[in-house]
Amino acid sequence: MDFASTPEDEAFRAELRGWIDEHLPPFLEAHGGGSASDSERPQSPGIVGRFERGRAWQKVLHSGRWAAINWPVEWGGRDATVMQSVIYSEEMARARTPGLFNPNGIWQIGPMIIRWGTDEQKQRWLPSILDAEEHWCQGFSEPEAGSDLANLRTMAVADGDEYVLDGTKIWISTAHLADWGLFLVRTDPLAIAEGRKHEGITALIVPMRTPGITCTPIREITGDAMFCEVRFSGARVPVAYRLGGEGEGWLVAMGTLTSERVGSSGISIGLRYELDGMIAAARTHNPDALADPSIRDRIARLHTQIEYTRLLNARALSKVLKGEKGWPEVSLAKLQWSHLSQSLAELGVDILGPAGVLARGGPDAVDKGHWTHQYPWQRFTSIGAGATEVQKNIIADRAIKLPKR
């Protein structure tokens, strides 16, 4: 594989790196310093301040046309190529920049509106997504359809120029903070019973303050509450807020799930910085641990696996650039991300010894309690972006072609 970048891509990287080096330090100085670590997530204590920090950073990015590089130029983007999107993810991970105020809106929902929306819908929603004036959530998962999205049962019944929504969504990130949400709903009540569960699904943009919608935050093992249960009870949403045609929701959803994985190359860069930061913390707070052969072996294995993951992502990217499906590399990379994130979190606690149990908020907590927080938080990677068990089943069935019982 040729890892050399084109002159255009090198110019893109140089421009982005120069812009970050110029604008990030003054931003951090003005907004409390530090990168957007997990101890500074929007759902942790001080939620309003942290949410506003993300809004402020996205506005800075938008001022340089760096907030939504994958959007068309006419909508404030840069028409970035797939390779440039990967470079963007890598450079943001390298600089450990703060998180966006509207990641769902920028990376998934905005491109969906650009592709499927009417001119009126684009004019209504794209500017406020881009300039961080309105926050968006994405509502796909349900209690009975977590790993089988096509089994969703939240109903939307047409009533004149409105849909009436009834049902429940679960694990919807930041729904209690969002102004708008993109939800998949069932508009054909017979589709599941007739074995057509991928049909009869419709994408609907929902105002989250609509009467009949209840958002209940779910307290996590970390003590935070980013995820929500969203209940619809007779909530009425205009038909004009439908994205795409009725029954085209599955096509709309597959587009956003593909976009969600484009920046996966940046994950391996972030994992490498996480490992480097962990070693630096150990040198300061528990240097004797680095002389332990078992600890050194775990560090070496993680370093190697992170490099393997980077190469795996590169192979998947090469397929995308050639117009091929990134299969089975994408599913394998998802498994690697989950495994490495959890292994890093476990090592982070072990390598700090007694200091590894000091939680955030305490005066002696290492790195604001980052490593202690990661230990329970990273369990979500077994479910997020595709459950581990489901990914293994898909690989066994389609890639390895194991015999079925």
Neighbours of 341 (CB within 10 A): 22
Give the SS3 label for residue 318. helix
Q: Is the peptide bond before 403 cis (omega within 30 degrees of 0)?
A: no
**Tokens at 90, concatenated:** 């890598």
Torsion of CA 78, 260, 123, 119, to 10 degrees: 100
The span from the CA of 358 to the CA of 223, in Å, is 15
**Active-site residue 389, yes or no?**
no
Residues in Cβ contact with 389 at an 8 Å cutoff, skipping those fewer than 6 apart: 147
Long-range contacts of 195-201 (CB under 8 A, 24+ apart): 197/150, 197/151, 198/150, 198/250, 199/247, 199/250, 200/247, 201/150, 201/152, 201/247, 201/249, 201/250, 201/253
CA–CA separation, 187 vs 252, rounded Å?
Answer: 15
- Pick the catalytic residue: 52, 134, 229, 260? 260
- DSSP letter at 182 equals E
- Cβ-count burial 18-29 (b if 16+ within 10 Å, e if not): ebbeebbeebbe
Tell me whether residue 128 is exposed, middle or buried, using C-beta atoms within 10 angstroms of its C-beta: 0 to 12, 13 to 18, 19 or more: middle
In a 10 Å sphere around its CB, with 0-12 CB exposed, 13-18 middle and 19+ buried, how is residue 323 labelled?
A: exposed
What residues act catalytically? 260
